[in-house]
Structure 1
Amino acid sequence: MDATLLHIHPASPEPIYRQIAEQIRRMVAGGQLARGATLPSVREVAAAHAINPMTVSKAYSQLEIEGVLERLRGKGMAVAARAPHAAGAGHRWALLDPALDAVARQARELELGPDEVLARLSQRMQEEHE
Structure 2
Amino acid sequence: MIRNWWAPPVAAATVLSGVLAAPAAPAAADDEALPDDVGCHYSLSAPQLVQRANGDRAVRATLSPTTCNRPAAQTDVIVCLKSESGYNRCNKLPGWQTVEVVIPAVPAGGVFTATGKGCWQYILDSFTPGCRAVGPIEARV
TM-score band w.r.t. shorter chain: under 0.3
Q: Structure 1 or 2: larger strand share? A: 2
Which one has a bigger Cα radius of gyration? 2
Calculate the TM-score normalised by the size of structure 2.
0.24
Calculate the TM-score normalised by the size of structure 1.
0.25
Q: Structure 1 or 2: larger helix share? A: 1
Relative contact order (alpha carbons < 8 A, sep ≥ 6): 1 or 2 greater? 2
